[in-house]
Structure 1
Amino acid sequence: MKRLYIGPTKSTPEIDFDPEKNVLSIKGESYPENSFEFYNPIFEWLENYFNNLSDNKKVIFKFDISYLNTSSTKSIIFILDIIEEAYKNNKNIIINWYYDEENEFSYEIAETFMEDLNIPFNMIKK
């Protein structure tokens, strides 16, 4: 499977999904005009990746998001749903959520997401 890399822009985060290292990363701010259009290829890549991933492989998902608009929040929730489904299907997944203690948003949004997930979820201060 090919690596998925999308460089950051002013309104979209960097996406770096490396299937060889099993490290998936989303970093930056997300407020594109059309969130679904931006995230749709990411949803498809993730579903394909998890469908072809052997159960014993450890996957680290890194979120380092400083801002999300409403539609991006919905897209991240959908990504987390894909991850949770894979976790329920015996995939070894750990989520690392990086936050800046001076940016309350990044911590609070992670707490909100954590409430609805049953996946190992680490809060890591930058």
Structure 2
Amino acid sequence: MNFSAETGICELSGESYLEDAFQFYDILMNWVNQYFEEGNNELEMNIRLTYFNTSSSRAILDLLRLLKNYQESRDYKVIVNWYYPNPDYDEMKAEAEDYIDETGLSMNLIPYSV
């Protein structure tokens, strides 16, 4: 995880298989809240995960719901780029599509070569 208040860019990459993912992702959600409370109104979230477990999936869903809330209720500009390895990881694209359906948050689905 990497985030910069200067650029407004937050990046999640690699694998996420934490037993208590909510504790880890809570740090990120607190950062997002603080970032917006400090008067920033644009955020770019780049997600490039190759694997995540069920606990992480639930925490990611909470994060995306938080971003959708800022996008809707405060009219902030929130860009979510979901990168997935192509063509071997179609399940990662399917997960992103499920998140879109669940949250209503628009995401850019971007394949990349492994």
Contact map agreement 1:93 1:119 (CA 8 A) in 2: no
Contact map agreement 2:2 2:12 (CA 8 A) in 1: yes
Structure 2 counterpart of 1:109: 95
Percent same amino acid among aligned pairs? Answer: 26
Question: Which structure 1 residue ranges, 4+ long, deviate > 4 Å from structure 2?
Answer: none
Q: For 1:13-24, list aligned pairs within 5 A.
A: 15-24=1-10
Structure with more of its chain in helix, by fraction:
2
Structure 1 counterpart of 2:35: 49
2:57 and 2:13 mapped to 1: Cα distance? 14
User: Structure 1 length as normaliser, TM-score?
Assistant: 0.80
Contact map agreement 1:99 1:124 (CA 8 A) in 2: yes
- 1:119 Cα offset (Å): 3.3
Q: List alignment gaps of at least 5 residues for structure 2.
A: none
Higher relative contact order (CA closer than 8 Å, sequence separation 6+): 2
1:118 and 1:33 mapped to 2: Cα distance? 27
Q: For 1:24-35, list aligned pairs within 5 A.
A: 24-35=10-21
- 1:43 Cα offset (Å): 1.8
Instruction: Provide, for residues 2-61 of structure 1, a one-character-per-residue CA deviation record: whole Å limited to 9, x for no partner.
Output: xxxxxxxxxxxxx11111011111111111122122222222111111222333xx3211
> In angstroms, what is the RMSD of aligned CA positions?
1.4
Contact map agreement 1:63 1:95 (CA 8 A) in 2: yes
Instruction: Provide, for residues 92-114 of structure 1, a one-character-per-residue CA deviation record: whole Å limited to 9, x for no partner.
Output: 11111001121122111111011
Counterpart AA for 1:110: A
1:119 and 1:113 mapped to 2: Cα distance? 8
Q: Does 1:97 align with 2:97?
A: no
Q: For 1:62-77, list aligned pairs within 5 A.
A: 62-77=46-61
Contact map agreement 1:66 1:105 (CA 8 A) in 2: no
